[in-house]
A = this chain, B = another copy of it.
Amino acid sequence: MFAINPTDPAPIWRQIEEGVRRMIALGALQPGASVPSVRDLAKDLRVNPNTVARAYQRLTEGGVLAVKRGEGTYVADVPVQPRKNERNEALRDAAIRYASTAIAVGSELEDAVDEVESAYERVVREHRRKA
- A residues with a Cβ closer than 8 A to B are 8-11, 14, 18-19, 21-22, 25-26, 81-82, 86-87, 90-92, 94-107, 109, 111-113, 115-124
Contacts and interface: CB of A to CB of B under 8 A. Distances in A.
A12 to B, nearest CB: 11
Given A9-B11, A87-B106, A107-B91, A116 B101 contact: no
A112 B103 contact: no
B112 A90 contact: no
A103 B9 contact: no
B113 A113 contact: yes
A113 B105 contact: no
Nearest to A87: B105
Given A10-B9, A119-B98, A123-B96, A91 B103 contact: no
Contacts of A113: 113, 116-117
A79 to B, nearest CB: 10
Contacts of A102: 91, 94, 120
